[in-house]
Amino acid sequence: MSSDSGTTEQLRQLAIDHLWQHNRDWESAARDQEPLIFVAGDGIRVTDTDGQTWIDVNGGYSSVNIGYGRTEIAEAAFEQLRQIPYFPQGSANPPTIKLAAKLAELAPGNLNRAFPVSGGSLANETALKVARAYQKRRGHDGRFRMISRRGSYHGATGGVLFLGSVPSSPRTDYEPAPPGMVYAPQPNAYRCELGSESPEECAVRCAQAIEDLIRFHGPETVAAVIAEPVSSGPGAVMPDPIYWTMLRDICTRHGVLLIADEVITGFGRTGKLFAMEHFGIVPDIMTIAKGISSSYLPLGATLATDDVAAEFASAGKHLRHVFTFAGHPASAAAGLKNIELIQSEELVDNAARTGEYLSEKLHELQERHPIIGDVRGIGFMQALDLVADRETRAIYPEEAKLVERINARFKKQRLLIKAHSGHIINLSPPLCTTRDDLDEIVAGISQTLGEVEAELDS
């Protein structure tokens, strides 16, 4: 099978010669006969230029929530483009207005004001600007510090790049960091850096560590704390609920804004429309992207509570902030149709119910494979933490090439899933994934881990 623009070999060579891919060099891509090039998709499966079908276990970047091939979304965007493809400067358009109203209806609490953007990084960049501007509007000129958590990921643009830290994406090329970046522990009970012995203890200690940082630097210097409800960087880390209860109280008492990064978790991935619903907490600012349009078109948003938004409501106090493609009418139309389908087909409930089945299957894997130290997560956001020794929880040394061994075998099975950070396998399939799909995915993971275990033991 060939694409309309050439054979696989021709397209691949064009990519090697001209395309700058995400997180990839072109020399190793050429050596590995990559990039893979896909031309069609249906549900959780995609077809390449050679006619081979693959399972996209993580649905793009944990973002194709509704699955591939939904022509309803394409038609909604097309119809909007036929009406008006963009908007005059300083104006608005019906689908973007309707999307903002829909988000206000769906979001927790009084998160009623939406600034539309074109992706997760820009949603978090917007959140940082809103947080700092909010503090200045209230006369707190010294509040510039941003507290994030080690192991978290909040985007790749210049500001949010320095929030959190992910070992697989070092920032050394881009240092020095902007001023005011402060880092707190990740509430990962399996690998708690504070030496906790239970999930609750880890949650309490990690929340308290954030208050300690606020006190150390002085509350008068801290603008906001940003965190994901469930963190994908260290592998689907969902803290004990007391963590978010404490964090909300800490931020409120110290006048610090609480930002929830729901770029990955939003729109059903955890079995709730928004993951903050698991904790019953309303942040001051919430960022969303990915699943808002299931990545059919670039779309995201930064939501603010009425109290935060009020600081920008009057003449001369508006948010000085713009992106050319923020509020694009075709993207907004795609987002509205995507949300409609997620709700009408009860895909959030499917993620909750079938996510429990996924957890059961992964725990069965853990019983069969000593290399699995921990299974964690919720809904369709789960992970395996791989170890060389379950008792010590030590990971394999770099020279063992664990990630390379695993990923090569996944590729042979045509499973689009990769180990990362030396020992983590994340699973975040589309919300339309069935039990039969999961059986196939888990069987492939089991075969891969069995082969790798035997090879490492030999």
Where in the chain are the domains? Answer: 72-344, 346-457
What's the CA gap between 102 and 122, in Å, rounded?
20
Phi, psi of 131 (to 5 degrees): -60, -45
Query: What dihedral do alpha carbons 192, 268, 301, 176 form, nearest 10°?
Result: 20
User: What's the pTM value of the predicted model, to 2 decimals?
Assistant: 0.96
Q: Are the C-beta atoms of 417 and 440 separated by less than 8 Å?
A: no
For each of the chain's 458 residues, which pLDDT tens digit applies?
444 557 999 999 999 999 999 989 999 999 999 999 999 999 999 999 999 999 999 999 999 999 999 999 999 999 999 999 999 999 999 999 999 999 999 999 999 999 999 999 999 999 999 999 999 999 999 999 999 999 999 999 999 999 998 877 788 899 999 999 999 999 999 999 999 999 999 999 999 999 999 999 999 999 999 999 999 999 999 999 999 999 999 999 999 999 999 999 999 999 999 999 999 999 999 999 999 999 999 999 999 999 999 999 999 899 999 999 999 999 999 999 999 999 999 999 999 999 999 999 999 999 999 999 999 999 999 999 999 999 999 999 999 999 999 999 999 999 999 999 899 999 999 999 999 999 999 999 999 999 999 999 87
Q: What is the model's pLDDT at position 165?
A: 86
Q: Rg of the chain over CA atoms, in angstroms?
A: 22
Joined together, the tokens standing for residue 16 give: 């090697």
Q: Are strands 222-227 and 145-149 parallel, antiparallel or unpaired?
A: parallel
Helices first, then strands: H and E counts in the chain: 13, 15
Return the pLDDT at 109.
97
Q: How would CATH label the architecture of 72-344?
A: 3-Layer(aba) Sandwich (3.40)
Tokens of 111: 């998160």
**Residue 215, phi then psi, degrees to nearest 5:** -70, -40
Residue 382 and residue 358 in contact, taking contact as beta carbons nearer than 8 Å: yes
In angstroms, rounded to a whole number, what is the distance separating the alpha carbons of residues 250 and 398? 39
pLDDT at 5: 56
Q: What is the CATH number of domain 346-457?
A: 3.90.1150.10
Distance from chain centroid for Cα 57: 15
Angstrom distance (rounded) from CA 426 to CA 419: 7
pLDDT of residue 1: 41
DSSP per residue, 285-303:
EEEE-GGGTTTSS--EEEE
